Amino acid sequence: MAVSFVTTSPEEEDKPKLGLGNIQTPLIFNPSMLNLQANIPNQFIWPDDEKPSINVLELDVPLIDLQNLLSDPSSTLDASRLISEACKKHGFFLVVNHGQRGAYFRRS
């Protein structure tokens, strides 16, 4: 499969592109054009409070304890509520007392 690239200069970017009949000129992204932008649209700027930082708090990983999951109906409801909250707030959680041995995980 052949791949072709079309390069344009910044001057050519501003010129209108004329198609031939039903053939349309492909839209080409030219990263050098970013240097010519006086203002970057807000939707492309990462908010300051979300930017990476070395001064972050230690992550508090939500723990889900499954020890009594099947033996007590209230534990099942509690575990499902905790899993739901962890997924909504953090997007992940750590399961403990799940009954699987460490050897099982080391083999995988």
pLDDT tens per residue, range 5-43: 555 565 665 555 555 555 666 677 777 777 777 787 788
Which position has the higher pLDDT, 37 or 96?
A: 96
Distance CA 52, CA 99 (A): 37
C-alpha–C-alpha distance, residues 14 and 35, integer Å: 14
Task: Assess if residue 40 is contained within a domain.
Answer: yes
Mean pLDDT value across residues 63-68: 89
User: What is the span of the domain harbouring residue 43?
Assistant: 10-48
Domain assignment of residue 24, yes or no: yes
Residues 70 and 101 in one domain: yes
State the total domains in the chain: 2
pLDDT of residue 108 exceeding 70: no
Q: Is residue 5 part of a domain?
A: no
| Residue 92 is assigned to a structural domain of this protein | yes
Residue 3 within a domain: no
Q: Is the pLDDT of residue 83 over 90?
A: yes
Task: Examine the pLDDT at 45 and tell me if it is beyond 90.
Answer: no
Answer whether residue 44 is part of any domain.
yes
Residue 82, SS3 per DSSP: helix
